[in-house]
Chains A and B, each alone.
Chain A
Amino acid sequence: GAVVSQHPSRVICKSGTSVKIECRSLDFQATTMFWYRQFPKQSLMLMATSNEGSKATYEQGVEKDKFLINHASLTLSTLTVTSAHPEDSSFYICSAHWTEVDEQYFGPGTRLTVT
């Protein structure tokens, strides 16, 4: 149990386009999901907390109009990188919080490359 999936696993897009990344909890419901970004050779940085049915909470320095988060159901959160630029190229990892066991489970990550 406690499987989190992300789609796509890898995406290459052109500068100026938008890309959507999905995060799904496959066998549990997650009221809260988290989105992290990891640049090469660096640690994970929390970008935002996604709450089902309400607006996401963004960390300081993260542009909410550039990184759109939608948590429309208890098993799905999406992150849309709008008007992507090469500096947005990164490894994006989500985690889902399983309320019943009070644990976070990480997805496999999405490698975004903006050319």
Chain B
Amino acid sequence: ELKVEQNPLFLSMQEGKNYTIYCNYSTTSDRLYWYRQDPGKSLESLFVLLSNGAVKQEGRLMASLDTKARLSTLHITAAVHDLSATYFCAVESGSRLTFGEGTQLTVNP
């Protein structure tokens, strides 16, 4: 059974600071996704990572994938309040997605 673990589950940080969210998974996978969810809303796709060493960046967010370590990271650079949300990683295996527990990020002024 595929297990996906994120840490931390809660993250409170100050504006302007950097931080990393980690996503570990237990078995080999096809692809890894990062999503953002705002309260009361559905998922917004951020990144899809396909292969070992993949790195993608959009604005203040950068995601990477190490398939050998079964680890993905989501790095936040110079956080701003607008990044406050819950972030999920999800691992795909045969079109089925297994989600991590989510990281609730709060960026304080």
Contact = CB atoms under 8 A, between A and B. Distances in A.
Interface string B9-20: 000000000000
For chain A, give the interface size range.
10 to 19
Given A32-B95, A49-B96, A43 B101 contact: yes
Q: Which 10 A-B pairs have the closest CB atoms?
A: A109-B42, A43-B99, A106-B43, A108-B42, A44-B99, A43-B101, A43-B102, A106-B42, A93-B42, A97-B95
A43 B48 CA distance: 19
A46 B96 contact: yes
Contacts of A15: none
10 contacts: A32-B95, A34-B97, A42-B102, A43-B99, A43-B102, A44-B43, A44-B97, A49-B95, A103-B48, A104-B95
A108 B95 contact: no
Interface of B: 40-43, 45, 48, 88, 90, 95-102
Interface string A30-46: 00101000000011111
Q: Which of B42, B48, B101 has the most CB of A within 10 A?
A: B42
Interface of A: 32, 34, 42-46, 49, 93, 95, 97, 103-104, 106-109, 111
B102 to A, nearest CB: 5
Given A93-B43, A107-B42, A108-B41, A46 B98 contact: yes
Given A43-B102, A106-B45, A109-B41, 13 more contacts: A32-B95, A34-B96, A42-B101, A42-B102, A44-B88, A44-B99, A49-B96, A97-B95, A104-B95, A104-B97, A107-B42, A108-B42, A109-B42
Contacts of B48: 103
B36 to A, nearest CB: 11
